[in-house]
Amino acid sequence: MLMPIQKEAAQAIINIFETGAVLGEYGNVTVIAGDTGHLTFGRSQTTLGSGGLGDLLQRYCDNPAARFAFRISPRLDRVKAKDVTLDKDLQLHNILRATADDIVMRQTQDVFFDQRYWQAAESAAAQLGIVSPLGVAVVYDSKVHGSWELIRDRTNAQSGDVAGLGERAWIDAYVETRFQWLATHERADLRATVYRMEAFRRLIDQGFWGLDLPLVVRGAEISLATLNGTPPGCYEGPQPGSRILALQTPLARGLDVRLVQLGLSDQGADIKADGVFGQSSSKCVKEYQASQGLPATGVADVVLIARLVG
């Protein structure tokens, strides 16, 4: 088994592939046209179509400390039924983004993705005799991205197996085989992901089989500092009502902004709950104020925040 720091480095590489962040974006919500997975969510992007999203959200809602369970539960049956109309449920998307601020969701995702992908990758690698951190990372990437067995068998048929080639030569051949498969795939969204194999090719060419830190993958630094940082887009404060929210420089960011945005979303506003109070947030506050017969200032004072957050 890999050392903990090697596991973190391997997972960070795939986090970068999935959401562009070393620690992953726990609140990342994506819907890609033509993607059979449909609505995808979380640090390693589990999908509605696979049933993984339903499993993840059920685990979260089962935790008595889950802050947003009361918001997710009314839609949970539809998620578990793989209702693809949820691809356009912007209120659900905003709720999912907001769950990133809840440590319970972040820990639920860590356990979920570890069980669903990492453990499966470790087992698959061990069966083939793949022991290097970089080799396991390649297997892990395919377990997350999909079609591990297909490309494994294709590599064995075209180039030979691990026993005959040796681990490093086989991983090299596997990466090339997967690159060609992605580059010529009929689905445009998969063709666009050849960068994953390009990144692995660079690591192989540089001889970083042990994933010794620091590393740079797709322009992102993987180091002890970044691995011990705060996940992007996660807010622990300020608490709602502790300040007035208005358009300013620099833009106000935080938990209070996110919850105000979520409240506006509940009222039907076309807003993305990203925790950043920008032009769109100010506009939506003005529209809400006007609908309530209030002065349309675009400024959320303590009274308005309490009304929206509850």
pLDDT tens for 82-116 read 999 999 999 999 999 999 999 999 999 999 999 99
Instruction: Say whether both 155 and 278 belong to one domain.
Output: no
User: What pLDDT, on the 0 to 100 scale, is given for residue 60?
Assistant: 98
Q: How far apart are CA 94 and CA 217, in angstroms?
A: 29
> Three-state SS for 296?
coil
Instruction: Say whether both 60 and 99 belong to one domain.
Output: yes
Instruction: Say whether both 218 and 284 belong to one domain.
Output: no
List the one residue out of 51, 107, 43 whose CA is nearest residue 79.
Answer: 51
State the chain's mean pLDDT as an integer: 96
- Residue 28's H or E segment, with its range, is none
Note down the domain range covering 278. 252-309
Q: Read off the pLDDT of each residue in 209-218 and give the average, rounded to a whole number.
A: 97
Q: Read off the pLDDT of residues 14-71 as tens digits, 9 standing for 90 and up.
A: 999 998 999 999 999 999 887 888 999 998 889 999 999 999 999 999 999 999 999 9
Tokens of 70: 């009361």
- Whether 156 is in a domain gets the answer yes
Q: Read off the pLDDT of each residue in 188-210 and give the average, rounded to a whole number.
A: 97
- Whether 50 is in a domain gets the answer yes
Q: Read off the pLDDT of each residue in 114-131 and give the average, rounded to a whole number.
A: 96
List the one residue out of 95, 26, 32, 40 whose CA is nearest residue 273.
Answer: 95
Q: Read off the pLDDT of residues 60-80 as tens digits, 9 standing for 90 and up.
A: 999 999 999 999 999 999 999
Instruction: Say whether both 194 and 277 belong to one domain.
Output: no
* Residue 220, beta-bridge partner list: 217
User: What pLDDT, on the 0 to 100 scale, is given for residue 36?
Assistant: 83
pLDDT band at 206 (very low <50, low <70, confident <90, very high): very high
* DSSP string over 223-287: SHHHHTSPPTT----PPTTSS-B---SSPEESHHHHHHHHHHHHTT------SEE-HHHHHHHHH
- Whether 235 is in a domain gets the answer no
User: What pLDDT, on the 0 to 100 scale, is given for residue 35?
Assistant: 81
List the one residue out of 255, 244, 254, 262 whose CA is nearest residue 303.
Answer: 244
pLDDT band at 230 (very low <50, low <70, confident <90, very high): confident
* CATH code of the domain containing 259: 1.10.101.10
Q: What is the bridge-based pairing of β-strands 220-222 and 40-41? A: unpaired
- Residue 221's H or E segment, with its range, is strand 220-222
pLDDT band at 138 (very low <50, low <70, confident <90, very high): very high
- Whether 246 is in a domain gets the answer no
pLDDT band at 164 (very low <50, low <70, confident <90, very high): very high
Instruction: Say whether both 142 and 257 belong to one domain.
Output: no
User: What pLDDT, on the 0 to 100 scale, is given for residue 105?
Assistant: 98
Q: What is the bridge-based pairing of β-strands 252-253 and 276-277? A: antiparallel
pLDDT band at 145 (very low <50, low <70, confident <90, very high): very high
- Whether 169 is in a domain gets the answer yes
* CATH code of the domain containing 72: 1.20.141.10
Q: Could you give the C-alpha distances from 213 to 2, 9, 133, 225, in angstroms and in order?
A: 14, 8, 12, 10
- Whether 234 is in a domain gets the answer no
Instruction: Say whether both 200 and 269 belong to one domain.
Output: no
Question: Is residue 250 reached through a cis peptide bond, with omega within 30 degrees of 0 on the bond before it?
Answer: yes
The number of domains in the chain is 2
Residues present in the chain in total: 310
- Whether 238 is in a domain gets the answer no
- Whether 178 is in a domain gets the answer yes
- Among positive and negative, which fits the CA dihedral 269, 97, 194, 144? negative
Q: How far apart are CA 28 and CA 44, in angstroms?
A: 9
With 80 as the cut, is the pLDDT of residue 156 above it?
yes
Instruction: Say whether both 73 and 217 belong to one domain.
Output: yes
User: What pLDDT, on the 0 to 100 scale, is given for residue 128?
Assistant: 97
Q: Are 212 and 7 in contact (CB under 8 A)?
A: no
Instruction: Say whether both 51 and 116 belong to one domain.
Output: yes
Q: Read off the pLDDT of each residue in 203-215 and give the average, rounded to a whole number.
A: 98
Percent of the chain predicted with pLDDT > 90: 94
With 80 as the cut, is the pLDDT of residue 1 above it?
no
